[in-house]
A and B are shown apart, each in its own frame.
Chain A
Amino acid sequence: MEDKEILEIYRKEGKQEFAFNLLVQKYSERIYWHIRKLTCSHEDSNDILQSSLVKVWEHLPDFREEAKLYTWIYRIATNETLTFLKKKRLNAMLSLSNYDNTLANKLQSDPSFNGDKLQMALHKAILHLPDKQRAVFNLRYFQEMKYEEISEILDTSVGALKASYHHAYNKVKTELKEQFGD
């Protein structure tokens, strides 16, 4: 079902929860994987996803269709995730530890990781990028989103996003080349 149709249902009296359920069914899985690639933890991703969806519910009455509904939902989820990571990094810094290492350890010891060595190396290399750049890389590389859509999600200019992605892509590629050769 198209987003516009879901929104039309949502605007009918007494149909809000039904329409929201349609949205959750449509987007929760995609949003989950976006969050999961940033946090490297199922539990953290679940918490962030649920709080993001609750925020979507709370703010949906104010949604004015100036942006696409799905980029708006992605935006809420991405902001929640980046805020979560920022807090975690601050806590790690206060306890004199490195949150990058924590993320790498989570990825390494994740029992649900079914990839091969190259995939593991790729996801470890992505962890070496700054959080926002990781979000840009994941949205472009894995989800193959358009720069215009990523621009709406991250509130960053298309030019800056292109530069950021290009830089991240080369960085990850160089790291993989060092490990696996050409």
Chain B
Amino acid sequence: MIQDKEKDNILERGNLKENPFGVPSGYFSSMQDEVMAKISAIPVVPPQQYEADEAPHAGFMTYFKPAFAMAAMFGIIFGLGYGAMKITGTYTDDGSVQGTLVSANASDELSEDEVISILDITIEDLFASQENSDTIEVMEQTMSNEDIEQYLIDSRVTTTSIALLE
């Protein structure tokens, strides 16, 4: 049954697998001569003297290199993650959460003078205007506690704000 089916298959018919192409007479011998002439112009490289079963010995590094590479990769990923968390302040050594590195450490590490020098301004700059300095001086001289309270009431400053200022 299967054999009948095979016979019916057009691709399994008679001469289909035979080679229908031809070549000029004497082609193969002349081609071989041409190839030999070509390769004789190429310098002979001495063949490698190893057999298939004498493949170079696989050393310690051959087996452990992938493991080292994977460990290094995990190390890099962990380092990057740790560094990122340190910078964003989401992780501290004691496990508590703090603000950003800048806000957390700036007050510890920088004095007021340094901040001002970084901002490139001076106290004089803050009070550069003569008018402002005069006003402050006059206020200091003339305002009593009642005046200040009245001023704050007029400005609608809440008691909470005042408490926070203190």
Interface residues of A (CB under 8 A from B): 10-11, 13, 16-17, 20-21, 24-25, 28-29, 32-33, 36-37, 42, 46, 49-50, 53-54, 57-58, 60-62, 64-66, 110, 112-116, 118-120, 122-123, 141-142, 169, 172-173, 176-177, 180, 182
User: Is the beta-carbon distance between A113 and B22 smaller than 8 angstroms?
Assistant: yes
In the assembled complex, the Cα of A13 lies from the Cα of B8 at a distance in Å of 56
User: Is the beta-carbon distance between B45 and A46 smaller than 8 angstroms?
Assistant: no
User: Is the beta-carbon distance between B11 and A116 smaller than 8 angstroms?
Assistant: no
- Leading 7 A-B pairs by shortest Cβ distance: A115-B20, A112-B22, A65-B52, A61-B45, A57-B39, A61-B47, A119-B20
Interface size bucket, B side?
35 or more
Interface residues of B (CB under 8 A from A): 8-11, 13, 15-24, 27-28, 31-32, 34-36, 38-40, 42, 44-52, 55
> Measured between C-beta atoms, what is the minimum distance from B41 to chain A in Å?
10
Q: Indicate which residue in A32, A114, A182 contacts B20 across the interface (CB closer than 8 Å).
A: A114
- Please judge, given known A-B contacts A17-B40, A54-B42, A173-B11, whether A142 and B47 are in contact too, CB under 8 Å: no
User: Is the beta-carbon distance between B51 and A65 smaller than 8 angstroms?
Assistant: yes
Give the interface centre of B8, B20, B44 by most chain A CB atoms within 10 Å: B20
User: Is the beta-carbon distance between B17 and A141 smaller than 8 angstroms?
Assistant: yes
Q: Given the complex, which residues of A lie within 8 Å of B36, measured CB to CB? A: 17, 20-21, 24
Chain A residue nearest to B17 (CB atoms) is: A142
Q: Indicate which residue in A17, A24, A62, A118 contacts B16 across the interface (CB closer than 8 Å).
A: A118
Chain B residue nearest to A122 (CB atoms) is: B16
User: Is the beta-carbon distance between B34 and A50 smaller than 8 angstroms?
Assistant: yes
- Please judge, given known A-B contacts A33-B21, A42-B24, A112-B23, whether A176 and B39 are in contact too, CB under 8 Å: no
Q: Indicate which residue in A32, A54, A64 contacts B50 across the interface (CB closer than 8 Å).
A: A64
In the assembled complex, the Cα of A61 lies from the Cα of B39 at a distance in Å of 13
Give the interface centre of A61, A113, A119, A120 by most chain B CB atoms within 10 Å: A119
> Measured between C-beta atoms, what is the minimum distance from B6 to chain A in Å?
12
Q: Given the complex, which residues of A lie within 8 Å of B49, measured CB to CB? A: 11
In the assembled complex, the Cα of A119 lies from the Cα of B44 at a distance in Å of 44
User: Is the beta-carbon distance between A64 and B48 smaller than 8 angstroms?
Assistant: yes
In the assembled complex, the Cα of A60 lies from the Cα of B45 at a distance in Å of 9
In the assembled complex, the Cα of A110 lies from the Cα of B11 at a distance in Å of 23
Q: Given the complex, which residues of B lie within 8 Å of A33, measured CB to CB? A: 19, 21
Could you list some 22 contacts between A and B, CB below 8 A? A20-B36, A20-B39, A25-B32, A42-B23, A50-B38, A53-B39, A57-B42, A61-B45, A61-B48, A62-B48, A64-B48, A64-B52, A110-B21, A112-B21, A113-B21, A118-B10, A118-B16, A119-B20, A141-B17, A172-B11, A177-B10, A182-B8
> Measured between C-beta atoms, what is the minimum distance from A52 to chain B in Å?
10
User: Is the beta-carbon distance between A176 and B11 smaller than 8 angstroms?
Assistant: yes
Chain A residue nearest to B34 (CB atoms) is: A50
* Contacts beyond the supplied A53-B39, A57-B42: 10 A-B pairs with Cβ under 8 Å: A16-B44, A17-B44, A21-B32, A21-B36, A24-B35, A28-B31, A64-B52, A114-B22, A119-B16, A180-B10
Q: Given the complex, which residues of B lie within 8 Å of A169, measured CB to CB? A: 11
Q: Indicate which residue in B21, B38, B46 contacts A36 across the interface (CB closer than 8 Å).
A: B21
